[in-house]
Amino acid sequence: MPQPQLERLAIEDVSKVYGDHVALRDFSLDVAGGEFVALLGPSGCGKSTMLNCLAGLVPLTSGRISIDGDRIDPLPPERRRFGMVFQNYALFPHLNIGRNVAFGLESRRVARSEIRARVARALGQVRLEGLADRYPSQLSGGQQQRVAMARAIVLEPRLILMDEPLSNLDAQLRTELRTELRRLHQDLGLTTIYVTHDQSEALSLADRLVVMRNGVHLQIGTPATVYTEPADAFVAAFMGYRNLIPARRRSARDGDVIVELADGVTMRGVDRGASTDEQVVVAVRPSDFTVVPAAGSDDEATGENAITCTVRVVEYQGEESAVEAEAAGGLRVHFRTTERVATGERVAVHVDPSRLLVFAADA
């Protein structure tokens, strides 16, 4: 496996201000050579801005970016030797696929025979042999995406930047190409920074995740860490904790907290930085709820860490159903179950205390 071309990319206190809007605030991140880092966050959180700052396409307001100790932020994009894959691919419509892939090599005055060989190899790596004479408009979306990839990797860039490269494709193609991206990253020893707003894409591709919001990162960690130990309620929401229920903190014991949800329902959960505030947020994944027999019509009689509720909406999803139910006080609860439940039915759902995370209310 080829060695990565850089040891360490350091982003230090980078800020970007558009007019009076702060798109990035004191953003710092270290990336090791060969790493696959995903920037994840909702629309408008500054992911593309960070990527464009790295590529040199937008100037920094402040901060510095360096590679192995050399500052690169003053360099124009054409001198950074990074590859970039754009969301809409940005293939040159007037050039055929071969010329598109050869574009960067021609800029570098590489010899003609070498260009031909390297273009053929790059098209092979993205499995597009034989399409060199087609024009971009004659390719499918998935093929265009591969051309964009080939055009970037043919230059053997020291860093690959990808801005939502799969978001214009249908779900099946997306999973397929996801595997290919990861394969290319490993086979070619690339260092990759990947922007996405799709948590499953980020979790499956990246070695490390950076969850962003409003121009700052909230959590940096391995997919497993971010998934199981989200730093706050916002990250939790992004990681699939669909139930975010405001609650009051009652008491604490051995890292566990007792919280009171609306109308006297108390539950036990893990303290995740809920500090000593009274107002907290309880986070539970829909799949962590299990349906237990409801103890008659009497609300309080259900077992520990369970809520009694009335089924409102059932979405059939094959193996399972996604259910929205309403508990006392208008509380909405989302859970998944393999059991058959019907709209209007009274059920009780239970969650293990280790799966109920308690965060500070104001993230």
Partner 1 sequence: MPERSRSLRDRLAERGIDRVLWLLLPAAALLGMLFVYPFLYGLGLSVQSQEGTPGIGNYLRFFGDDFQRSTIAKTFALAIPAAALNVGISIPIAYKLRGPVRHKRVITTLLVLPATLGTVLVAEGLIRYFGPIGWFNQLLMAIGIIDAPLQLTHNYIGVMASLIITGFPLSLLLVLGHASGIDPDLERAAATLGAGPSERFRRVILPLMLPGITIAFVLAFVAAFAVFPSAVMVGNPSGETRVISIAAYQAAFERFDYPMASAIAMIMAALQFAVVGSVFLVRSRLYRGSTSGAKG
Give the residues lining the site for partner 1 (CB under 8 A): 55-57, 76-84, 86, 88-94, 103-104, 107-108, 135-137, 139, 141, 144, 151-152, 155, 161, 168
Q: Quick one: angle between helices 171-187 and 141-153, nearest 10?
A: 20
Q: Which amino acid type is present at position 207?
A: D
Q: Nearer to ligand ATP by C-beta: 48 or 199?
A: 48
Tokens coding 317 = 């999803």
Q: Taking the complex as a whole, how short is the minimal distance between the CB of residue 39 and partner 1, in angstroms?
A: 17
Q: How many residues bind Mg ion (CB under 5 A)?
A: 1
Verify binding: residue 136, ligand ATP, rule CB under 6 A: no
Tokens coding 104 = 């960067």
CA angle 28, 32, 35 (to 5 degrees): 105
CB neighbourhood size of 20 (10 A): 5
Among 1, 3, 20, 43, binds ligand ATP (CB under 6 A): 43
Q: Taking the complex as a whole, how short is the minimal distance between the CB of residue 82 and partner 1, in angstroms?
A: 6
Among 31, 33, 38, 49, binds ligand ATP (CB under 6 A): 49
Q: Nearer to Mg ion by C-beta: 50 or 348?
A: 50
- Residues 270, 282: Cα–Cα separation, whole Å: 9
Among 48, 52, 196, 337, binds Mg ion (CB under 5 A): 48
- Residues 146, 148: Cα–Cα separation, whole Å: 5
Verify binding: residue 21, ligand ATP, rule CB under 6 A: yes
Tokens coding 198 = 């799709």
Q: Taking the complex as a whole, how short is the minimal distance between the CB of residue 197 and Mg ion, in angstroms?
A: 8
Q: Taking the complex as a whole, how short is the minimal distance between the CB of residue 9 and partner 1, in angstroms?
A: 16
Nearest to 178 by CA among 56, 57, 38, 277: 38
Tokens coding 120 = 């053929």
Q: Taking the complex as a whole, how short is the minimal distance between the CB of residue 227 and Mg ion, in angstroms?
A: 23
